[in-house]
């Protein structure tokens, strides 16, 4: 889903037998700690209880030790970053209203940190080195202490370098003061993640040199021949020519794939088959957490409906679906009710269809169900990149801007005459945010294309694409999920059970921020400015602002604002749902309100780890 400078026709064929990372070891991975080998985390013993390697910690006082430990998920031993010798880190249970104390000791040879994702807390406790504290130096212990002001399903992870990719992440469950509004008999955390045997620095360097390095699903000459037989040679050729004209690959769906990733469920490989037990007729609460570095997962349980009851830790009006896409860093709580005396497969395929994580729900130990085939690899169409222009071979490409970097010496009127531009011109104000009066903007239709403007900073070597036509599309399930015969969750389905906490004031100003990048050079940014060159976004304590995100790139981006809630708006400007991480599709425009009620320096970034490290990051100051 990114811009390309090579042909969309390839003669290479990916040999699926080389996907050694997809299935992993039959044992599901092993951890070595203090000279002992333990079975993969979250396995079950014969009685259906968690093994000792799955550590669940309850209370208000916690001691967490970060260290390096050998692991083996694929037959090759590598070093992981773990907490208390576990990958994932221990499952922490807090209670709303309690004051928790967490003593985190660093036994690594370099600095580390823990960020409590989605938790509203004092700024010094947020765990972002360089913004909220200095980090935890080798041999030191840092004490996190704060009062828990919320409940639900969350997670925690390192905010230091690539440690999140090497295993420093874990689930976090906060029990409410009052009873949940839905009933269930058993409660399971299902934490999804991606593991690579390669050093994350190596993966990052590969992406910088060749951003399509891990894409083994490019269209081949055989695909073109099949398409030509089905649609006719001229139509097939015109479509390929169109993609080449845009310098894009219609099979470009993810930066990192199963070419290097093994996908894990609760630290267990697909062959390892994590299992959760049930008695037929019971209701199971499944807390889905996407703790991966780079992977969007499409989750379903064939034979069972999933009733979504919470999103990003907050209860929502129940909505029943067959499938949902969970973006990186998001959480969803679902209720399932297996009535039959049989096993069910929990199937989480990567959005690029290169691999999957898998587990089982079963009434008895050792049972398993059929694992579905991966869905076909999607081929991008105009709707997938935020364009609605009819049949692709005959379409007008004026809706997308592929023009050369703008000459800052030219007048605005001259620059707006560039081919492919429907509107343009630099925006006044800061180079990291565009402030605009939203009065008069028609938001009555979620499918209506929005004409946008671009900051002058978007015209330079850090960007290679700008979208001039965007839409909200909150009811769009996303590429590979449309019309697949299953009921798929969308943001339009989500509505919080309560909005008593909602600030009724209208935002006093709007910040329009564009998600930008140069995909060939693997440069990522906001408004064309990477973090190292950006000024902070400044908010006044207590003010109400609207943030508008416009995705100018060909990738989905999960955007996370630390310390503050993001209150997503519907296409008509009404409150939709409160979240801590909002995924923005290509060519999509989303808006949300923020109450700046927590002073301090907060991180604001794309939660795709390699995008964040490449520059899609900002500091937000609440003064």
Q: Looking at residue 3, what DSSP letter applies?
A: B
Report pLDDT for 468: 78
Give the pair of three-digit tokens for residue 385.
Answer: 């990149």
Q: Which of 240, 200, 201 is nearest to 220 (CA)?
A: 240
Distances (CA, A) of 72 to 20, 78, 157, 188, 201: 13, 6, 21, 25, 19
Distance of CA 235 to the CA centre of its chain: 35
* pLDDT for position 263: 97
**582 is written with which tokens?**
């909002």
- Beta pairing, strands 61-72 & 99-106: parallel
- For 389-426, write each residue's pLDDT tens digit: 433 333 333 334 433 333 333 332 333 322 232 333 33
- pLDDT recorded at residue 464: 83
Residue whose entry in the numeric block shows the structure tokens 């009006």: 317
Residues 356-386: tens digit of each pLDDT: 999 999 999 999 999 999 999 887 766 566 5
359-362, long-range: CB < 8 A, 24+ apart: 359/190, 359/265, 359/266, 359/268, 359/273, 359/274, 359/275, 359/276, 360/273, 360/274, 360/275, 360/276, 361/275, 361/276, 361/277, 361/278, 361/284, 361/301, 361/304, 361/336, 362/275, 362/276, 362/277, 362/278
Residue 231: other Cβ atoms inside 10 A: 14
Those residues of the chain that have pLDDT short of 70 are 1-22, 24, 26-53, 213, 215-229, 231-252, 381-452
Angstrom CA distances, 468 to 393, 422, 524, stand at 20, 6, 19
Say if residues 66 and 59 touch (Cβ distance below 8 Å): no
Question: What is residue 51's predicted lDDT score, i.e. its pLDDT?
Answer: 42
Tokens coding 540: 């006044």
Written as six digits, the tokens of 157 are: 């992870």
Check residue 113 and give its pLDDT: 98
- Phi, psi (rounded to 5 degrees) for 448: -70, 135
Give the contacts of 533 (CB within 8 A, at least 6 positions apart). none
Written as one string, the DSSP assignment of 428-479 is SS-SS-EE---TT---S-TTS-EE----GGGSSTT-S-EESEEB--TT---T
Task: Give the per-residue pLDDT at 118.
Answer: 97
């001691």: which residue's tokens?
A: 63
Q: What pLDDT is attached to residue 460?
A: 87
CA pair distance 149, 563, nearest whole angstrom: 12
Q: What is the pLDDT of residue 52?
A: 44
């Amino acid at each position: 889903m990114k811009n390309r400078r090579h042909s969309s026709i390839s003669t290479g064929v990916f040999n699926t037998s080389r996907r050694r990372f997809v299935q992993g070891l039959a044992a599901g991975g092993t951890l070595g700690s203090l000279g002992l080998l333990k079975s993969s985390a979250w396995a079950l013993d014969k009685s259906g209880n968690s093994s000792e390697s799955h550590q669940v910690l309850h209370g208000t006082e916690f001691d967490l030790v970060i260290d390096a430990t050998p692991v083996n998920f694929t037959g090759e031993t590598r070093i992981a970053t773990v907490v208390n010798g576990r990958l994932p880190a221990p499952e922490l249970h807090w209670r709303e209203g309690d004051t928790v104390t967490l003593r985190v000791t660093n036994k690594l040879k370099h600095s580390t940190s823990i960020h409590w994702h989605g938790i509203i807390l004092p700024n010094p406790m947020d765990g972002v080195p360089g913004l909220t504290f200095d980090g935890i130096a080798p041999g030191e212990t840092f004490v996190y202490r704060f009062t828990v002001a919320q409940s639900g399903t969350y997670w925690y992870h390192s905010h230091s370098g690539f440690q999140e990719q090497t295993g420093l992440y874990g689930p976090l469950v906060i029990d409410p003061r009052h009873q949940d509004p839905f009933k269930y008999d058993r409660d399971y955390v299902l934490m999804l993640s991606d593991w690579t045997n390669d050093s994350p620095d190596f993966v990052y360097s590969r992406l910088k040199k060749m951003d399509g390095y891990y894409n083994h699903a490019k269209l081949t000459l055989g695909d073109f021949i099949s398409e030509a037989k089905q649609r006719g040679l001229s139509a097939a050729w015109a479509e390929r020519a169109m993609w080449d004209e845009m310098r894009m690959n219609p099979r470009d769906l993810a930066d990192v794939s199963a070419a290097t990733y093994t996908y894990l469920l609760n630290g267990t490989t697909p062959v390892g088959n994590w299992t959760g037990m049930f008695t037929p007729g019971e209701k199971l609460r499944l807390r889905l957490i996407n703790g991966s570095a780079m992977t969007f997962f499409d989750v379903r349980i064939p034979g069972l409906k999933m009733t979504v009851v919470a999103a990003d830790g907050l209860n929502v009006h129940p909505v029943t679906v067959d499938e949902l896409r969970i973006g990186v860093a998001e959480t969803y709580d679902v209720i399932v009710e297996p009535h039959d005396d049989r096993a069910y497969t929990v199937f989480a395929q990567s959005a690029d269809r290169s691999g999957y994580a898998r587990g089982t729900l079963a009434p008895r130990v050792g049972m398993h169900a059929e694992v579905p085939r991966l869905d076909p690899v999607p081929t991008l169409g105009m709707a997938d990149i935020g364009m609605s222009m009819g049949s692709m071979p005959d379409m007008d490409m004026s809706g997308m801007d592929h023009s050369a970097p703008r000459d800052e010496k030219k007048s605005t009127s001259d620059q707006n005459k560039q081919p492919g531009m429907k509107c343009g011109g630099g925006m006044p104000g800061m180079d990291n945010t565009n402030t605009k009066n939203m009065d008069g903007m028609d938001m009555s239709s979620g499918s209506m294309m929005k004409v946008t403007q671009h900051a002058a900073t978007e015209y330079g070597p850090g960007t290679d694409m700008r979208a001039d036509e965007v839409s909200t599309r909150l009811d769009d399930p996303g590429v590979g999920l449309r019309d697949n015969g299953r009921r798929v969750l969308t943001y339009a389905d989500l509505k919080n059970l309560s909005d008593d906490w909602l600030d009724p004031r209208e935002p006093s100003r709007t910040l329009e921020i564009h998600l930008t990048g140069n995909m060939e050079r693997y440069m990522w940014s906001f408004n064309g400015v990477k973090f190292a060159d950006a000024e902070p976004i400044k908010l006044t304590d207590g003010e109400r602002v609207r943030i508008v995100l416009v995705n100018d790139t060909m990738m989905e981006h999960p955007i996370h604002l630390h310390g503050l809630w993001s209150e997503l708006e519907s296409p008509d400007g009404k409150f939709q749902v409160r979240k801590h991480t909002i995924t923005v599709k290509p060519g999509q425009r989303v808006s949300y309100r923020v109450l700046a009620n927590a002073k301090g320096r907060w991180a604001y970034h794309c939660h795709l780890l390699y995008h964040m490290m490449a520059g899609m990051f900002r500091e937000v100051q609440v003064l």
